[in-house]
Chain A
C-alpha cells in the first residue's frame, strides 16, 4: 500500500468551476500535510499546507484535513486555465521527510 494515494486523473473542469482533489494517507503518525503544484517540466511549488483538522483557506484555494479519516483535500475555486497542472499531495512525519502521492493532473478548459 502506498503511503499517500491520489486519484491520478486527469480531472477536467470548465473555467470558473471548482476543482476538487482528494488524497488519503496511511501513516497515522503524519502531522503535516502539503499541496504542491507542478507544471510540466518544472519543480513543485508549494501552494498550501495544513497541520490541524478542519479547513484552511488561502485565496482561491481551500485545504481540508480530517485526521480521523486520514484524508486531505484541496478545492480550487474559480478555476483558471493557469491552474492546469499536476497537484501533488504530501504527508510529513516528525523529521520533515515527506511522502508524495503520484499526483492528480488537472486541466481547466477555457
Chain B
C-alpha cells in the first residue's frame, strides 16, 4: 500500500528555534498533502492543504507566516514551524492523497517539544 514517510519523528528544541518537518510519499506521486496537528487526547486538526507547485491553503486560525509549507515536488512537502514557542508543542502529522481518489495515508508523525 501507499507509504508516507515523515521526518524527524521527535524534536526537542529551545524556544525561538525554527523546525522543519519533511513529508515524503515513497511509492506514489502525491499531488496533495495535508498537515495536521494533534494535541493530547484531542482529534486531528487540519492546518493546511499543500498542493504541488502552488501555495498552500491554510485553515482558519492557522498563521501562514508561522507555519511555512513548501510542496516543491510530487513526493515532498515540508512544514517549517518558525520561531517555535512552548504552545507550539504538539504532534504534527502529514498525510498524502495519491491520484485517482486514493484514501489519505498518514506519516508516522513528528512529536515537537519546545522548551
Residues of A within 8 A of B (CB): 32, 34, 36, 41-46, 49, 88, 95-103
Q: How far is the CA of A43 from the CA of B44 in the complex (A)?
A: 10
Contacts of A34 in B (CB 8 A): 103-104
Cβ B49 vs Cβ A95 within 8 A: yes
Residue from the set B91, B103, B109 with the largest chain A CB neighbour count within 10 Å: B103
Number of B residues, CB within 8 Å of A: 20
B44 near A100: Cβ-Cβ < 8 Å? yes
A43 & B104 in contact (Cβ 8 Å cutoff): no
Q: Assuming A42-B109, A44-B44, A100-B44, what are 14 further A-B pairs, CB within 8 angstroms?
A: A34-B104, A36-B106, A42-B108, A43-B106, A45-B106, A46-B105, A88-B43, A88-B44, A95-B49, A96-B104, A97-B34, A97-B46, A98-B46, A103-B43
Q: List 19 A-B contacts (CB under 8 A).
A: A32-B101, A32-B103, A41-B111, A43-B6, A43-B91, A43-B93, A43-B106, A45-B106, A46-B106, A49-B103, A88-B43, A95-B49, A96-B101, A97-B34, A97-B49, A98-B46, A99-B46, A100-B43, A100-B44
